[in-house]
Amino acid sequence: MDLTTFLLFVATTFVVILTPGPAAIAVTSLAAGNGLSRGLFVIAGVACANTVFFALSALGISAMIIASDTLFMLIKWIGVGYLIYLGIGAITGKSTTLTVRPGGERPATHLFSRGFVVEFANPKALLYFAAILPQFLDTAAPIAPQIAIMGATTLVLDCLVYTIYAALGHGISRSGIPGRVVRVLDRCAGGALLFAAYKMARVTA
């Protein structure tokens, strides 16, 4: 994987994580009610769920590449289509306020499990890893090191973005993030995802 491809992967993954979704709402609300430091347990749960998703997807991707270049290209275009779907959905979807619900400090295990379950129950998370990852891989180079690098990068971005959400939730406490702010984030994220889909559609395996 060359530097340009890696940077495109980082940018795409960052935008997808930044787009408000179930995990972002859970992190924001639980950090507001339990404090920023304990909100980190929620983030750890989300990251752990994504680690499981990544491992499952990576195993499937490796087997697919060994078995068929045609299947690899098929998944590549499914990934492009999925990015387009996310982009259009972010631009046209209804915006809602990220409401926080302070409810007293909860045990770390509860916060961790909430983060894990919210992310693990989200099928879009698995679909992202299964559909987006293949198009960034260089089939002429060893696959395992590339997957390891992407996995570590994704976890770092998870922690970075959701820590920002946790800090935001802790700071605004009961007021919530206005829907108009979410709308601006959605449109920016949607445009970035569509651009990423265009760029990746032009890349050959």
Dihedral in degrees, nearest 10, Cα atoms 55, 52, 82, 80: -20
Choice between 75 and 100, residue whose per-residue pLDDT is larger:
75
Q: Report whether pLDDT(156) > 90.
A: yes
In which band, very low, low, confident or very high, does the pLDDT at 153 lie, cut at 50, 70 and 90?
Answer: very high
Domain that holds residue 121: 3-98+107-201
For residue 135, give both structure tokens.
């198009």
Q: DSSP 3-state assignment of 177?
A: strand
pLDDT cut 70: percent of the chain above it? 72
Q: Report whether pLDDT(99) > 90.
A: no
Residue 64 is predicted with a pLDDT of: 65
Choice between 70 and 152, residue whose per-residue pLDDT is larger:
152
User: Which residue reads 């339990």 in tokens?
Assistant: 34
Q: Say if CB 193 and CB 15 are below 8 A apart.
A: yes
Output the average pLDDT for the chain: 77
User: Which residue reads 């619900």 in tokens?
Assistant: 101
Q: Report whether pLDDT(88) > 90.
A: no
Q: DSSP 3-state assignment of 198?
A: helix
Dihedral in degrees, nearest 10, Cα atoms 184, 189, 194, 198: 130
Residue 84 is predicted with a pLDDT of: 82
Q: Please count the structural domains in the chain.
A: 1
Per-residue pLDDT tens digits for 30-82: 777 777 887 899 899 999 988 887 777 777 765 665 566 676 677 667 767 87
Beta-carbon contacts of 2 under 8 Å, excluding residues fewer than 6 positions away, are: 138
Residue 159 is predicted with a pLDDT of: 93
